[in-house]
Structure 1
Amino acid sequence: MNIFYNGTGIGDVLLVSLKEIPKEERLVERKGDVARLFDKRNGQTVGFNIFNISNIKSINGTGMLPLTDELLEAINKALEHNDFEETIEAPKESNFVVGYVKEKSKHPDADKLSVCQVDVGEETLQIVCGAPNIEEGQKVPVAMVGASMPTGMNIKAAKLRGVESTGMICSAKELVLPDAPREKGILVLDDRFKVGEDFLEQYHG
């Protein structure tokens, strides 16, 4: 699940993405201040656009937001007030966590790629990364397998030039964070971030 808000860029609209599907397979049902996005093939809800969200709850932050208890309550209140019977439930685990780069080695078949061993709390993931500024000893935001990026890309386990990669180390631009630098490179986090915990909660906290 992704929650996105940009009051300056798109207005007072909270975007709630439950599942990414191609635009041509998506239909919209509008009731009052809520638009329900659903899969035209099976009717499954894939997201909601909640207009005038500040009438229910003021939103602090721009870009991807953590799903706090207060925000979840506001989303479900908006659905109820606009005659939708569905409710949103918080996911059991975060799709965006803080990782620690334990090891970095050169990709055997690609000069610009690095193979990283990244501690994400309960496990260490092997992630292939193309960022020029990736180094051992960094804390970084990691999109776990199953995460949906703001661009619509779904993170899957894959092989990159023959090397297994599970998850993605993210840049500020990829996470649509405010004031993201134009230079290429992953977002390096400071010491206040705790490895294995929700990245978005810590970033916006």
Structure 2
Amino acid sequence: MSALTRRGVLAAGFACAAFGGARAAGAAPSAAALARPFAPPRPAGELTYKTGDGVPGTLSEHRGRVLLVTLWAPWCLPCRREMPEIARLAGRVAAEGLALEILPISFDWRGAAGVRRFYAEEGIEGLPVLLGEGENLAAVFGLENLPSSVVVDAGGAAVALVAGEARWDDAASFDWLAALARG
């Protein structure tokens, strides 16, 4: 591992620890309250990922649907707290029949096995195993911090960003995403 890569991993670990301390003092704020618009909206179609089976994909393949793209890693403490809430949100979205697709893209050196292990430990079901690359994330969204979530409209443009740990299974977040999905 090069010094730069080691530094990046250490910095990410310290950042996750810092955000983790904030959560210990109280519940994370609602995603709806943390959401900020991308101004102007930016094209999101070039963000690439691989499925847990190694099949490549891009966000442009999901054009026509509103997306919640959650960017996370199993080693990130705030991400670990957020993902069960994302899974509950996904269940509610499916139960309500909303035109909203949730894509949790993981950035983990352990690959699909690390994501599957985390899902099993947390009892998470119904979320896909998707893997991303940091360079592509920075190029498309200009993001380098986890967790971050991006809302992509049906036309393929990133329209909102939730940076940092958020609460996703509360009424305000669901209502906000439902309104976006209904257009």
Q: Using structure 2 for the length normalisation, give the TM-score.
A: 0.26
The structure carrying a bigger helix percent of its residues is 2
Structure with the higher strand share, 1 or 2: 1
Normalised TM-score (structure 1)? 0.24
Bigger Cα Rg: 1
Q: Whose relative contact order is higher, 1 or 2, with alpha carbons under 8 Å and at least 6 apart?
A: 2
